[in-house]
Structure 1
Amino acid sequence: MYPVEHIHPIFDRILDRSQKERLLQQRAVVVWLVGLSGSGKSTIAQALEKRLHAEGYLTQLLDGDNLRSGINGDLGFSEADRQENLRRTAEIARLFLHCGIITLCSFISPTREARQKTREIIGEADLLEVYVKCSFAECARRDVKGLYVKALRGEIKNFTGLDAPFEEPEAPWLLLDTEAASEAQCVEQLYQHLIHRIHPQNPS
């Protein structure tokens, strides 16, 4: 590894984000979907991305399982590795943000400390935290990946919501309750909140 004094960033000499946004005719943002495994994060993110794409927006979806099969494939599920998983993802999301791309991130993001660190990397104004709320009991009933039955048998350790903590977001940008609303209703609610932020002529 090179010493820090041998690193010479060129951030001041590269095209800035506003130039990319003008080219793409959209305003970039990072939508960070938080919630228990099986709460509906990935399903909602996928449906939203398809809708935005159909309307001409350039998007990128970053999903926890996808990144763990690639760039984060060397990480386990210890607290330190989970922190590093989110740190790397936040840095990737920031790169897409600076390219003018609407970035959708689907990650459990279990602790307030971890979420605060991602916010610091991406920037408070650019990170929209969406809490995809669903009880542990309902997620276990759905068990879309077959993980809950294994965790409850003790075959998976450090399982979020069981023997590893999940701290609910206290003031998310948007709350989607997937026990009280359908997938389509949640996607519509998120779309209606988001579309005003990404429209190129909207100043806020």
Structure 2
Amino acid sequence: MATNITWHHNLTHDERKELVKQNGATLWFTGLSASGKSTVACALEQKLLQEGIQSYRLDGDNVRFGLNKDLGFSEKDRNENIRRISEVSKLFADSCVISLTSFISPYRADRDAARKLHEEANLPFVEVFVDVPLAVAEQRDPKGLYKKAREGLIKNFTGIDDPYEAPEHPEIHLNTHEQSVEECVSTIVAYLKQKQIVA
């Protein structure tokens, strides 16, 4: 634990909202590999930016090229991966950016901790469950990861030899084997407008 540190205050979140004319929030996309998390998050990011709403996507693969390149896929490393992303997405939300986090985040306790972190800072947190049957995810398998996991070439793979704990009460529940990307984006935007997170 770091010592001899001080949080330097500047603008309050409400003051920042007034200046940038936008609210911040974190949309936490969770689901199996190949469920469509990143596909939907990418389309949503484009939609929000086209409407002049600042947003930024934090992707499970992308952050492992830099911020989390020292982490593997053990349960301990997965926990730390999500802890770091929770803190980063909270900073984005506090800066009045819509943060779109796209992570398998298989453990309910880790997602609950991310939610609590945002709630304690009075920042909106929206859990988006990108749901798809395992058989469909395996059939899609765009990176060939399920095939490798079935062959024993990848260990600790969620859905095969590691568990996925589905959200019990997500704010948004998408079924990407039944809904198009456009339908998923429309569902999310409608929710954000209903909750007055975006205008």
TM-score range, shorter chain: over 0.9
From 58, 65, 87, the counterpart of 2:83:
87
Tell me by how many angstroms 1:8 deviates. 2.1
The match for 1:73 is 69
Query: Paired residue for 1:62?
Result: 58
The whole-number CA distance in structure 2 between the counterparts of 1:104 and 1:18 is: 21
The correspondence for 1:46, drawn from 42, 48, 62, is: 42
**1:126 to partner: Cα distance:** 1.4
Runs of 4+ in 1 over 4 A off after TM superposition: none
User: How far 1:143 sits from its partner (Å)?
Assistant: 0.4
Q: How many Å separate the matches in 1 of 2:21 and 2:124? A: 17
| Corresponding position of 2:19 | 23
CA-CA distance at 1:88 after TM superposition: 0.3
The TM-score normalised by the length of structure 1 is: 0.91
Residue of structure 2 equivalent to 1:168: 166
- How many residues get paired? 196
| Correspondence for 2:5 | 7
Q: What do the CA deviations read for 1:55-90 (whole angstroms, capped 9, x no partner)?
A: 111111111101011100000001010000000001
Instruction: Specify the SS of the correspondent of 1:81.
Output: helix
Identity over aligned residues, as a percent?
44
Distance in 1 separating the partners of 2:69 and 2:116: 24
- The Cα shift of 1:132 comes to 0.3
Secondary structure of the structure 2 residue equivalent to 1:129: strand
Q: Offset at 1:114?
A: 1.1
**2:135 corresponding residue in structure 1:** 137
Unaligned runs of 5+ in 1: none
Q: Structure 1: how far apart are the matches of 2:154 and 2:71?
A: 16
Partner of 1:154: 152
CA RMSD of aligned residues (A): 1.4
- Structure 2 portions without partners, runs of 5+: none
1:199 aligned residue: 198
